[in-house]
């Protein structure tokens, strides 16, 4: 899959223009997704030095993106300057989602197991309910 990933508020706590503290398991999850063959695109509002700082921060932690703020590495940004365009991606991981950003463990399960957030929540609720129910001989 092609997965677009935001930086501020998604990989790190939102402290723009500074780089915040890493969100738990963010870089570990991203590295696993890359190892599984997914193409990750860093899709952020950062530009110039602030963008390079984010790229370097990720790279130092072993996360090297397929492309940065474009669909593929060879894309010519000058070609698209005159209009706004939507990136073609299979998934978007962004803290500005409706409902907010799930934890990175849940994000990984959704992608790895090909499940929706709703599927994961229902499974977790069922597991919790089954764990709490006592059998007739336990009373």
- The residues, ordered by sequence, that sit 6+ positions from 87 with a Cβ below 8 Å of its Cβ are 4, 41, 43, 70, 71
The pLDDT tens digits for 96-137 are 988 889 999 999 999 999 999 999 999 989 888 877 666 667
CATH architecture classification, 2-138: 3-Layer(aba) Sandwich (3.40)
65-90 as b/e: b if 16+ CB within 10 A:
bbbbbbbeeeeeeeeeeeeeeeeebe
Phi, psi of 40 (to 5 degrees): -100, 135
Beta bridge partners of 92: 4
* pLDDT of 139 above 70: no
Question: How much is the pLDDT for 98?
Answer: 81
pLDDT: which is higher, 5 or 131: 5
pLDDT band (50, 70, 90) for residue 85: low
The answer to whether 120 and 110 are in contact (CB under 8 A) is: yes
The pLDDT tens digits for 10-68 are 999 999 999 999 999 999 999 999 999 999 999 999 999 999 999 999 999 999 999 99
- For the chain, give every domain's residue range: 2-138
What's this model's pTM, rounded to 2 decimal places? Answer: 0.82
């Amino acid at each position: 899959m092609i997965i677009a990933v935001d930086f501020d508020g998604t990989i790190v706590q939102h402290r723009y223009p500074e780089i915040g503290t890493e969100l738990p398991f963010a870089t570990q999850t991203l590295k696993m997704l890359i190892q599984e063959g997914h193409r990750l695109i860093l899709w952020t509002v950062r530009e110039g030095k602030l963008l390079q700082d984010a790229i370097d921060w990720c790279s130092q932690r072993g996360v090297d993106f397929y492309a940065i703020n474009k669909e593929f590495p060879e894309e010519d940004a000058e070609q698209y300057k005159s209009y706004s365009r939507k990136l073609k991606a299979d998934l978007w991981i962004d803290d500005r989602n409706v409902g907010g950003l799930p934890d990175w463990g849940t994000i990984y399960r959704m992608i790895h197991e090909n499940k929706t957030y709703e599927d994961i929540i229902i499974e977790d609720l069922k597991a919790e309910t089954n764990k709490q129910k006592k059998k007739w001989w336990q009373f």
